[in-house]
Structure 1
Amino acid sequence: METAKKLVMTFKSEGDNVVNFTIDDPKDNLTEAEVISAMNLIVEKNIFSPGELDLVEAVKAKVVQTNTTEYDLKA
């Protein structure tokens, strides 16, 4: 079984669109304060403009872990 971890950050852009950014394998000791700070910096510095729309608000963040089991179908 393979375990994967991702940080999903959700923002609101102009026009009330929801935008998610996913970071694979975030560090284990990542703190809530670090995530909030990074998200606020992304909004303040206008680092990303998906679809030519500016991000206007950090909405939420979460760490998601998934377990994947692959089956060998050629056996």
Structure 2
Amino acid sequence: MALATTQVLKMVFLTPLNKQVTISLNNPKDTLTAAEVQGVMDTMIARNIFMTTNGELASKVSARIIDTTTNELFTA
């Protein structure tokens, strides 16, 4: 029985059409701060780095790190 823990940083934005867009990054640094994430999100918005089907990223909604622990019971 093996345990595996993973982390994902999820950054949520709004487009000009008021649609949410989530950008996920696996295995963020353990030392990552809210200020660093906000700064990166601001840069992504200012430089129009991503274009979605609902338009560019217009504003920040939230950011969170999600921890997931997987307990593998068996493999065939």
TM-score (norm 1): 0.92
Counting matched residue pairs gives 74
Aligned-pair identity in percent equals 31
The structure with the greater share of residues assigned to helix is 1
Aligned to 1:3: 5
Is there any run of 5+ residues in structure 1 with no aligned partner, and where? none
Deviation for aligned residue 1:72: 1.1
User: Residue 22 of structure 1: SS of its match in structure 2?
Assistant: strand
Report runs of 4+ in structure 1 exceeding 6 Å deviation: none
- Please say if 1:40 is aligned against 2:42: yes
Q: What is the alpha-carbon root mean square deviation over aligned residues? A: 1.1
| Separation in 1, partners of 2:4, 2:36 | 27
User: Residue 28 of structure 1: SS of its match in structure 2?
Assistant: coil
Deviation for aligned residue 1:62: 0.4
Aligned to 1:27: 29
Of 16, 19, 34 in structure 1, the residue corresponding to residue 18 of structure 2 is 16
TM-score (norm 2): 0.91
